[in-house]
Structure 1
Amino acid sequence: MKRTAITIAAVFTALAALPASLWLAALLWPAPQSYPAITPFSWQDTQAQWHSLSESQAPFTLLFLGFLSCQNVCPARLGELAGIARTLPSGTVQVLYVTLEPNTDTPALRQRHIDSLGVKSGRLSPEALSQLRRELRDNSAAKSPAHHVNRVYLLHRSGKLAAVFNQQPLQAEAITQQLSTLSIL
């Protein structure tokens, strides 16, 4: 009888501790964030050629939305992305800058200031850019491109958003760590 009572008490204690242990596990080891897929889009490079994510030789694309007349965020991010493009193993990640001001960021300017750094640059149609920004929740620039965010998006060639990087400065180690969790590196 005493043994049965001890067994029952142990079972109830274990059951009572279960919610606390699940909470602690979620706190210490949070589940990876799940991101939605975005609508496939195509961009035009500085040579007037159209490209899409699905055509990329690399399984992932690091995407940054910016503009060349930006005084603060864009020059810093472009420098970081150029360093990342040189650091990551060839063929693992394509680094892409998409202009928010296609009329100002001409192909010649993008070639000279972006493509020369080892970062691909492109422009989207106004409709595609608007849709992409809406899906990425990059709506801070609803009034003007000057109010944009410094996020860098990691997209799979299928269009699945794999990660969003907000940290300043963004370093290759953060990208490498994310790629290793995705079993790419």
Structure 2
Amino acid sequence: MFRNLTYLLLAAGALIAGVMLYQLSQVSAEPKLALVYPQPRALADFNLTDHHGETVNRERLYGQWTLAFVGYTSCPDICPLTLAKLAGAQPKLAEQVSQPLKVWFISVDPNRDSIEQLNRYVSYFEQASVLGMTAGHDQLFPFVRQLGLMYALSSSTSQDYLVDHSASVVLINPQGQLVAMFKPPMQVGELPVINVEQLLADFPLVLNKLNAG
């Protein structure tokens, strides 16, 4: 009888230890292509306009998770690929959080990207959780900079000018704070576009780290 009790206690102890080690490994596991900030970064207020013509400010970030990136509708490759990947991954990512998860496409080319153009562009992806938005550079530049991203306009006078911009995607928590950045793989000869499989693998690890902090 006592021997059976001893075996039972040992088995229970091993099970508890195994669960604790698993939980510890999940918390300490490092995402491969994501940077989690040691402290959430509060964002200053901003004033943009979305593709429905509605005002977008800091309050629009509250109560939701937001994946945001910068680009422009005339972008020949990185922007449409990134938006398509994020729109496709959004349902699976949203399952992992208790509050809504939105995707923000922030156009840094307001000269060509009117509200009507943004509406056509975003509507193509048929994803209600995806919002396109823009503003004048007086609003865009400080907002993009505080997201840890960048853009630079070409000095060309051609109407087909290109805009240099970051290819990373940032994560903003429901308190409107910048908490992480997902980076594209940098490989010679390949476009720096977010890898969906890696994003899906890194996302729960990022959430674990945020919850542990």
The residue aligned with 2:121 is 113
Q: Which residue of 2 aligns with 1:129?
A: 140
In 1, Cα distance between the equivalents of 2:67 and 2:135?
Answer: 16
Tell me which residue corresponds to 1:75: 80
Q: What percentage of aligned pairs have identical amino acids?
A: 23
For 2:152, which of 142, 161, 164 is the aligned residue?
Answer: 142
Does residue 84 of structure 1 match 2:92?
no
Partner of 2:163, secondary structure, is: coil
Matches within 5 A, 1:13-28: none
Deviates more, 1:88-97 or 1:129-138: 88-97
Choose from 200, 203, 213 the match for 1:175: 203
CA distance in 1, matches of 2:63, 2:124: 19
- Equivalents in 2 of 1:53, 1:173: separation in Å? 29
1:136/1:56 CA distance change after superposition, 3 Å: closer
CA distance in 2 between counterparts of 1:98 and 1:115 reads 15
Q: How many residues align?
A: 156
Check whether the contact 1:44–1:51 (CA below 8 A) recurs between aligned residues.
yes
Q: TM-score under structure 2 normalisation?
A: 0.62
Deviation at 1:54, TM superposition (A): 2.3
Higher radius of gyration, 1 or 2: 1
Higher strand fraction (1 or 2):
2
Equivalent-residue separation in structure 2 for 1:126 and 1:78 (angstroms):
22
Structure 2: which 5+ runs fail to align? 1-27, 155-161, 185-193
1:42 is aligned to 2:47: yes
Q: Provide the TM-score with structure 1 as the length reference.
A: 0.70
Aligned counterpart, 1:164: 181
Letter in 2 for 1:122: M
In structure 2, distance between residues paired with 1:105 and 1:78:
16
User: Deviation per CA, 1:72-103, whole angstroms, max 9, x where unpaired?
Assistant: 21111011111122322384311111111122
Deviations 1:105-149 (A, max 9, x none): 22222222214422111113321211012223323x334362111
- In the alignment, residue 152 of structure 2 is paired with which amino acid? A
Distance of 2:61 and 2:148 partners within structure 1: 24
Question: Does the C-alpha gap of structure 1 residues 176 and 124 become closer, same or farther in structure 2, counting only changes over 3 Å?
Answer: farther
Pick one of 96, 101, 109 that aligns with 2:104: 96
- Cα distance in 2, alignment partners of residues 129 and 46 from structure 1: 15
Partner amino acid, structure 1, of 2:169: V
